[in-house]
């Protein structure tokens, strides 16, 4: 995966310096925060799904919601749910115990994610509460989880997860969902939530780019033909000389000795 990502970056660099810039096209990417939520003054019980507080113009929509395995919490200044009661990732996935956010690019735009920052916690500390990020880009595949983490306090410190190595999260042109699954070691049930601090509490960083128009195959063929024709003409231009045509229609080079010309009637010669 990392190798593919590097290939993509190298291709991007080649795109910038190459002579075929028209194939890369598009606007300069916008770096930074492209989607963010501030849960201050809200609760999942009254705002589910919750639209993003900050939305890049290149993103049509972004919503934060809950899996059907948990119940929207009414705790103020949070977005979360009660009923996180599974004891393994596979069980949490099967039970749909998760927080989820879905980002939909505007038509003609693509998203490339670089990182996610989030602030979360539980209502009562346990040893331990576990979380894992999975994405629709990989079919929520467990071997391709984006990140896992465990904590044993109520207020886990802010977390920042780099996504630059995940090629599936680059150049995304359709809806992308990321699920934050939660489960716990001891039996019981937790209320797990995005919690409030100054500013945004869940933010996605990355770039939004205009999708480059892909030339029609006929345009490629015409372009290649023009390049080949130009190269041939340039090569001929170095050795080309005027050519004359004999009366009999034979051709010879103007540089050839006259003795090598095709035989023809001599001036003034009489018939017979």
Which DSSP symbol is given to 245? E
Q: Answer yes or no: are the C-beta atoms of 93 and 81 closer than 8 Å.
A: no
Q: Which stretch, 43-51, 89-97, 130-138, 189-197, contacts Ca ion (CB under 5 A)?
A: 189-197
The tokens describing 201, both together, are: 């509490």
For the bound state, the minimum distance from the C-beta of residue 101 to Ca ion, rounded and expressed in Å, comes to 15
Distance between CA atoms of residues 30 and 55, nearest Å: 13
Distance of CA 216 to the CA centre of its chain: 22
Distance between CA atoms of residues 221 and 167, nearest Å: 30
Provide the 3-class DSSP secondary structure of residue 87: coil
Distance of CA 50 to the CA centre of its chain: 24
For the bound state, the minimum distance from the C-beta of residue 77 to Ca ion, rounded and expressed in Å, comes to 8
- Between 97 and 201, CB nearer to Ca ion: 201
For the bound state, the minimum distance from the C-beta of residue 227 to Ca ion, rounded and expressed in Å, comes to 56
Q: What are phi and psi of 97, to 5 degrees?
A: -95, 95
Q: Answer yes or no: are the C-beta atoms of 189 and 85 closer than 8 Å.
A: yes
- Between 97 and 196, CB nearer to Ca ion: 196
For the bound state, the minimum distance from the C-beta of residue 201 to Ca ion, rounded and expressed in Å, comes to 4
Site membership for Ca ion, residue 38 (CB under 5 A): yes
- Between 63 and 138, CB nearer to Ca ion: 63
Q: Which stretch, 105-113, 161-169, 196-204, 221-229, contacts Ca ion (CB under 5 A)?
A: 196-204
With CB under 5 A as the rule, give the number of residues binding Ca ion: 4
The tokens describing 48, both together, are: 């589910």
Distance between CA atoms of residues 87 and 170, nearest Å: 32
Site membership for Ca ion, residue 40 (CB under 5 A): yes
Q: Which stretch, 33-41, 143-151, 161-169, 231-239, contacts Ca ion (CB under 5 A)?
A: 33-41
The single residue among 85, 97, 168, 201 that binds Ca ion, judged by CB under 5 A, is: 201
The single residue among 196, 202, 204, 209 that binds Ca ion, judged by CB under 5 A, is: 196
Which residues would be at the binding site for Ca ion (CB under 5 A)? 38, 40, 196, 201
């Amino acid at each position: 995966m990392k190798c593919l990502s590097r290939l993509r970056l190298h291709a991007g660099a080649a795109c910038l310096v190459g002579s075929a810039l028209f194939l890369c096209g598009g606007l300069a990417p916008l770096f930074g925060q492209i989607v963010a939520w501030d849960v201050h003054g809200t609760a999942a019980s009254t705002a589910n799904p919750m639209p993003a507080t900050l939305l890049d113009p290149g993103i049509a929509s972004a919503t934060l919601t809950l899996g059907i395995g948990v119940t929207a919490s009414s705790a103020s200044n949070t977005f979360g749910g009660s009923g996180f009661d599974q004891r393994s990732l596979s069980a949490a996935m099967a039970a749909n115990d998760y927080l989820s956010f879905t980002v939909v690019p505007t038509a003609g735009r693509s998203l490339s994610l670089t990182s996610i920052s989030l602030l979360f916690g539980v209502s009562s500390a346990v040893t331990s509460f576990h979380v894992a990020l999975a994405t629709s880009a990989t079919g929520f595949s467990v071997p391709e989880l984006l990140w896992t983490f465990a904590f044993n306090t109520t207020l886990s410190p802010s977390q920042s997860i780099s996504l630059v190595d995940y090629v599936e999260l680059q150049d995304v042109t359709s809806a992308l969902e990321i699920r934050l699954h939660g489960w716990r070691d001891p039996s019981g049930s937790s209320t797990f939530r995005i919690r409030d601090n100054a500013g945004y509490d869940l933010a996605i960083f990355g770039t939004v780019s205009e999708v480059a128009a892909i030339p029609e195959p006929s345009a490629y063929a015409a372009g290649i033909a023009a390049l080949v024709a130009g190269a041939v003409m340039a090569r001929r231009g170095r050795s080309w000389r005027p050519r004359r045509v004999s009366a009999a229609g034979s051709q010879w080079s103007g540089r050839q000795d006259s003795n090598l010309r095709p035989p023809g009637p001599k001036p003034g010669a009489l018939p017979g």
